[in-house]
Amino acid sequence: MSDDNTSLIRLRIGEHDVHYAGGLVDGAKMLQLFGDVATELLIRSDGDEGLFVAYDDVQFLAPVHAGDYIEAHGRIVSMGKTSRRMVFEARKVIASAGLPNQASAADVLADPIVVCKASGTCVVAANCQRKPR
C-alpha cells in the first residue's frame, strides 16, 4: 500500500506455527504479525523501527489453523510527538479445506473471517525520527 499510514501483510500459516491439537495456531502468532505491521508503519512514517510499547485491546475472534492464509492490516490512527496509536485486524482469506484424504485442499473465502483485532501504541524517539512532521 502506498499510504504511509497503512500496511498489509499476507502469509500462509505453516505447520511450524501449530501450537495446539487439531492444527490450531497460538493467538500470539497474530500479535507477531501485528508487530511486523507496526514496524513497517513506523518505518514509513518516521524512517525508524521504533518500539511497540503496549497493546490496550486484543480480541481473538476465530481460530487459525495450519494452511490458512492470513492478511494482517494496520494503520496509524493518531500521532503524538513520539507516540503512534495504531489499530490492527487479521483476516483469514483462504482456509484449509480440512479434507481427510486431501491434506492440500484449500478454499478461497468469499467473505474473509476476522480472526483478531487489536490496538496499541508505539513510540519513535524524537532523535530517531528521520521524516519531518
pTM: 0.89
Using pLDDT thresholds of 50, 70 and 90, give the confidence band for residue 2: very low
- For residue 83, the enclosing domain spans 6-128
Average pLDDT for the chain: 91
Q: What is the pLDDT of residues 93-133, one digit of tens each?
A: 999 887 888 878 899 999 999 999 999 999 999 998 987 66
Q: Does residue 17 lie in a domain region?
A: yes
Using pLDDT thresholds of 50, 70 and 90, give the confidence band for residue 70: very high
Q: What is the pLDDT of residue 17?
A: 87
Structural domains in the chain (count): 1
3-class DSSP state of 50 = coil
Q: What angle do CA 58, 60, 62 make, to 5 degrees?
A: 160
Q: Does residue 82 lie in a domain region?
A: yes
Q: What is the CATH number of the domain that holds 16?
A: 3.10.129.10
Q: Does residue 133 lie in a domain region?
A: no
Q: What's the CA gap between 108 and 94, in Å, rounded?
A: 4
